[in-house]
Chains A and B, each alone.
Chain A
Amino acid sequence: MRPDPPVLDLSNVTKVYGEGETAVRALRGVSLRVERGDYVAIMGASGSGKSTLMNIVGCLDVPTGGTYHLDGTDVGGLDERRLAIVRNRKIGFVFQSFNLIPRMSALANVELPLAYGGVRAAERRRRALAALDRVGLAERVHHQPNELSGGQQQRVAVARALVTAPTLLLADEPTGALDSKSSEDVMNIFDRLSASGRTLVVITHEEEVAAHAKRIVRLVDGRIVEDVRVAPAGGPPPRLAEVAS
């Protein structure tokens, strides 16, 4: 029996923005495999291509060259309709700027991916409430984004990303706009998700945040220059392991 395919398998991915004189080579051949259950932090200087990489991994953008397999399927060969399904079922995306839909309650925001996924209303509500409970916002479900603090908004965004039980949870500087207390809250949620076997890829500037990951990848000028494993992919994340010991 063949082993599980890696959740993420990038090979020699390149991305060029624009063309001619002004062309920017944001990614210059990135190859990366992420196994199921791993917790990867991607670090690098500003402009090194982290967000570009993340957008490709999240199927929000298409690479200029190279191939990308998500959970065994070649994403490059999918049409728009299938891509929407992949985004909906396999990927949960957390943005630096939260990206909640204004004038919709936290609950409605979290229900939205389920609605697009065709889940029935009652089931949707139950799962959305459970996800909000997991991020500690059971009390705030009927508040609209503008009635929540930044940290709370980001936790709603995390709830929205994990409510569909995606194969892969992506976060682009999830703590970039948060203070240290709120950052702690979010990172604790990520630790627990990782401990429960979820696959996470997190972009960050902060060593403190990267210290939660089991593996740290460093990008410089669109290339991977360092790939360090801190803890085994199958085990608990390092911070939780510390607490346990």
Chain B
Amino acid sequence: MNGVEVLRFALRGLAANKMRSALTMLGILIGVAAVILLVAIGEGSSQQIQQNIQRLGANSLTITPSTSGGGGGPGGFARAAGGGGGRDGGQAGRQNTGPRVQARDLTVDDARALADPANAPSVKSVSPVVTAQAQSAAYEGASHSISQLVGTYPSYFEASNKPVAKGSYFYNDDVLAARKVVVIGQTVAENLFGAVDPLGKQITVSGVPFTVVGVLKETGSSGFQDADDVAIAPLPAVQQSLTGFGPLGQILVQAKSAEAVDAAQAEVTEVLDQRHGITGSASADYRILNQATLQETVSAATGTFTVLLGAVAAISLLVGGIGITNIMLVTVTERTREIGIRKAIGAPKGAILGQFLAEATMLSLVGGLLGVLIAVAGAQFTIAGVRPVIVPTSIALALGVSVVIGLFFGSYPANRAAGLRPIEALRFE
């Protein structure tokens, strides 16, 4: 009685009741597929979020004005007019948490102070940013609404991780001279120019002519916002023609290295607190977004999310396992006489045990393998806006668990079958 023989008996046992075997496998199949697929969706969305965060730029700190600190500053109406950095509606929702301090807006002078190596030695570059939203641009009849027009300094390109694919950046000269040059994103280039080379062409943005000097590298769509639907121009040019010389929407600070990010944040805080007169318990009128901390926080959250999804799926795997026990118990009961006959002609306990264990394991293994196939096939599709990313260990784990389930849940009925006394089994009706 060798292994192959035991497997043959098991296979014959399963084939004798095809419908039942198939349904039992389905339970395991769904469990395994759910585990793999849900973990893949968790992983996929986690990676997507991480990518979006990375797009903010490496080692960067984003400083935005905060509405929760300070009191009625003069910046509100200017921001409303200029659409400063997407922070609209801030006026109505302003709350005071600390003692009333005159809230100040972020200014180019703030940016200059941060760029001073004496004040902030860990800072590599500082880019003041104004943003004009939904600007209509036109080129020879074609028109397109640019969702974000950014006015800034050349250091912005590196700090915000926006490399140029064609043409070039603009330079400090362009900023000083307030030249109307612009670097456009892929979406803008496609919508305005189609197949035409945009370099050197003149587009009008809200009636103001800008010369295209470069096209950004495509970053791919980031969820709900098209990161390629942007245009970047020198700060004074945008202020002059579109937003006015009001407050900044944000200041983008790049630290010298990944290790220097926290030091840079401390320095920036100190400089801004001093300039804005924030002391003691007063809450700041600006907010610093640290990309590294954000990434950690988010990855912890998405990790929890993935584990939760996996846990829900694991429960369905367990239910599938109970299905196996149930069917094996029925099988053993149904075949008690057969077990009696086998024992009467001299089947050793091990052979009976092996046969039923092999049946249970085969059910779970075949169900599990089919589940893996279906999960892998399902992962090729985008599910709920997320491209699932299969985690190889989840396959190994789900398959391993399904086999263990077969062995574990099959061993009780199998043991019961093998332990029967031949005469008891033969008399069983």
The reply to whether B422 and A60 form a contact with Cβ atoms under 8 Å apart is: yes
Residues of B within 8 A of A103 (CB): 12, 16
The reply to whether A60 and B426 form a contact with Cβ atoms under 8 Å apart is: yes
Best-surrounded residue of B12, B342, B422 (most CB of chain A within 10 A): B422
Residues of B within 8 A of A118 (CB): 1
The reply to whether A60 and B423 form a contact with Cβ atoms under 8 Å apart is: yes
Q: Is B344's CB within 8 Å of the partner chain A?
A: yes
The reply to whether A99 and B1 form a contact with Cβ atoms under 8 Å apart is: no
The reply to whether B342 and A89 form a contact with Cβ atoms under 8 Å apart is: no
Please give me the residue from chain A that is nearest to B422 by CB atom.
A60
Segment 1-34 of B: residues with Cβ below 8 Å from A: 1, 5, 12, 16
A7 to chain B, nearest CB (A): 17
Q: Is B351's CB within 8 Å of the partner chain A?
A: yes
Picked from B337, B345, B421, the residue with its CB within 8 Å of the CB of A61 is B421
Residues of chain A at the chain B interface (Cβ within 8 Å)? 55, 58, 60-61, 80-81, 84-89, 91, 93, 95, 99-104, 112-113, 115-118, 160, 164
The reply to whether B344 and A58 form a contact with Cβ atoms under 8 Å apart is: yes
Inter-chain CA distance A58–B338, complex, in Å, is 17
Picked from A61, A87, A99, the residue with its CB within 8 Å of the CB of B346 is A87
Residues of A within 8 A of B1 (CB): 115-116, 118
The reply to whether B342 and A112 form a contact with Cβ atoms under 8 Å apart is: yes
Inter-chain CA distance A164–B351, complex, in Å, is 18
The reply to whether B423 and A55 form a contact with Cβ atoms under 8 Å apart is: yes
B41 to chain A, nearest CB (A): 44
B425 to chain A, nearest CB (A): 9
Show 19 residue pairs from A and B whose CB-CB distance is below 8 angstroms, ordered by the A residue. Answer: A60-B344, A60-B423, A80-B349, A81-B348, A81-B349, A84-B347, A84-B348, A85-B346, A89-B346, A91-B346, A93-B344, A99-B341, A101-B341, A103-B16, A104-B12, A112-B342, A115-B5, A116-B342, A116-B348
The reply to whether B421 and A116 form a contact with Cβ atoms under 8 Å apart is: no
Picked from B345, B351, B421, the residue with its CB within 8 Å of the CB of A160 is B345
Residues of A within 8 A of B124 (CB): none
Interface size class of B (residues with CB under 8 A): 20 to 34
Best-surrounded residue of B338, B346, B347, B351 (most CB of chain A within 10 A): B346
Residues of B within 8 A of A85 (CB): 346, 348
Inter-chain CA distance A89–B5, complex, in Å, is 19
Q: Is B343's CB within 8 Å of the partner chain A?
A: yes
Please give me the residue from chain B that is nearest to A118 by CB atom.
B1
Residues of A within 8 A of B421 (CB): 60-61
Residues of B within 8 A of A115 (CB): 1, 5
Residues of B within 8 A of A87 (CB): 343-346, 422
Picked from B351, B422, B423, the residue with its CB within 8 Å of the CB of A116 is B351
Inter-chain CA distance A58–B423, complex, in Å, is 10
A130 to chain B, nearest CB (A): 18
The reply to whether A93 and B345 form a contact with Cβ atoms under 8 Å apart is: yes
Please give me the residue from chain A that is nearest to B350 by CB atom.
A81
Please give me the residue from chain B that is nearest to A91 by CB atom.
B346
B5 to chain A, nearest CB (A): 6
Task: A99-B340, A115-B1, A117-B346 given; name 14 further pairs at CB < 8 Å.
Answer: A61-B422, A87-B345, A87-B346, A88-B345, A89-B346, A91-B346, A93-B345, A99-B344, A103-B16, A113-B346, A116-B1, A116-B345, A116-B346, A116-B348
Picked from B340, B346, B426, the residue with its CB within 8 Å of the CB of A88 is B346
Knowing A60-B422, A115-B5, the reply to whether A101 touches B338 (Cβ < 8 A) is yes
A128 to chain B, nearest CB (A): 13
Segment 310-355 of B: residues with Cβ below 8 Å from A: 337-338, 340-349, 351
Inter-chain CA distance A17–B177, complex, in Å, is 112
Please give me the residue from chain B that is nearest to A87 by CB atom.
B346
Residues of B within 8 A of A84 (CB): 343, 346-349
B267 to chain A, nearest CB (A): 79
Inter-chain CA distance A115–B347, complex, in Å, is 9
